[in-house]
Amino acid sequence: GANENTVITFSHDAKVEGQNVPAGSYGFFLVINSDNSGEVILSKSFKSWGSFFYDQAQDQLRAKIQLRDLPYSVESLTYDFMNATKYSAELVLNWEKKQFPVKIEFDVDKIVMANAKEVLKGQTGFNPQSFVTAAGYAMNNNIELEQGVKWIDQAITNGAPNPGNAQGIKYNLLTKLGKTSDAEKLFQNVITNSNENDVNLFAYQLSGQGLHDKAIEAFVSNTKRFPNSPNTWDSLGEGYANKGDKENAIKSFKKSLSMNPPSGVKANSEKFLKQFGAM
């Protein structure tokens, strides 16, 4: 650069163009070659003035990149992020008719879990829903499942606002850990002793993780315990629909509609029946 260093700061350890880079601040340099290739350089000497005092011995990283041609001209140099995913993004410099892409990656799951452990030690830890959210992240991302079980147990003990949802998360965590006996005991306890709404929430959690047969088993149990509730039949219809069992889904939705359901339940059953061409 012609002026002060362009500085890039990483709050956590990262990978830049596949190379490990510790958290910290670095001077950001780009080398342009005549064959449309280039190099990105991260220098540990980030307080120097431009490239006048650049010292290769201070390189933290030097990696090859491939420049791209732009179909338009960018008069003022700009930086942007593009091609973002959960774990990575490209930092791109655009100038004149060239684009300089640099891929940056983070171990997002590791960062989130470490942050959750710290945050839950503070005021946030007095809210049971915070533990539900943290356990749900562990479940959905298959990371530190044992920690997820500890979090969801704490949420349940401290009065999680939607017990059926929390129990569903615990069931999924136990299943992922291979603790099938513990999971089945929990399953039977929920479908036998929980109220209609909690069984529904429990079953939806199972369905969301692809455990369609167990979800349907819970939904069916709910229709037997609460046979006069249109909502239990509507939910059973969704369970069948999620599995791809169109025939039984249609039967369940029609059963729900035959019971003069509340407007929300009615609208949901009708929506699915229209999608299935059964209405």
pLDDT tens, residue by residue, 31-65? 988 888 899 999 999 988 777 888 999 999 999 99
**What is the residue extent of each domain of the chain?**
7-105, 108-227
DSSP letter string over 14-31?
Answer: EEETTEEE-SEEEEEEEE
pLDDT in the model for residue 48: 82
pLDDT in the model for residue 1: 46
Question: Which backbone phi and psi does 73 adopt, to 5 degrees?
Answer: -105, 135
pLDDT tens, residue by residue, 227-255? 999 999 999 999 999 999 999 999 999 99
Rounded CA-CA distance 6/11 in Å is 17
Q: Which residues does residue 24 pair with via DSSP β-bridges, in sequence order?
A: 10
Q: Which CATH number fits domain 108-227: 3.40.50.720, 1.25.40.10, 1.10.10.10, 1.10.287.3510?
A: 1.25.40.10
Q: What is the pTM of this model?
A: 0.83
Strands 88-105 and 68-82, sheet pairing: antiparallel
Rounded CA-CA distance 57/268 in Å is 65
pLDDT in the model for residue 2: 57
DSSP letter string over 48-102?
Answer: S-TTTT--GGGEEEEEEEE-EEEEEEEEEEEEEEES--SSEEEEEEEEEEEEEEE
HSE of 128 in the Cβ direction (CA atoms, 13 Å)?
A: 14
Chain position carrying tokens 């220098």? 43
Q: Which amino acid is at 205?
A: Q
Q: Which residues does residue 69 pair with via DSSP β-bridges, in sequence order?
A: 98
User: For each successive 10 residues of the chain (279 residues), what is the average pLDDT?
Assistant: 81 97 96 88 89 89 94 92 97 93 97 97 96 97 98 96 95 97 97 96 95 97 97 97 97 97 97 95
Q: Which residues does residue 13 pair with via DSSP β-bridges, in sequence order?
A: none
Q: Which helix (H) or strand (E) holds 256?
A: helix 246-257
Rounded CA-CA distance 218/236 in Å is 9
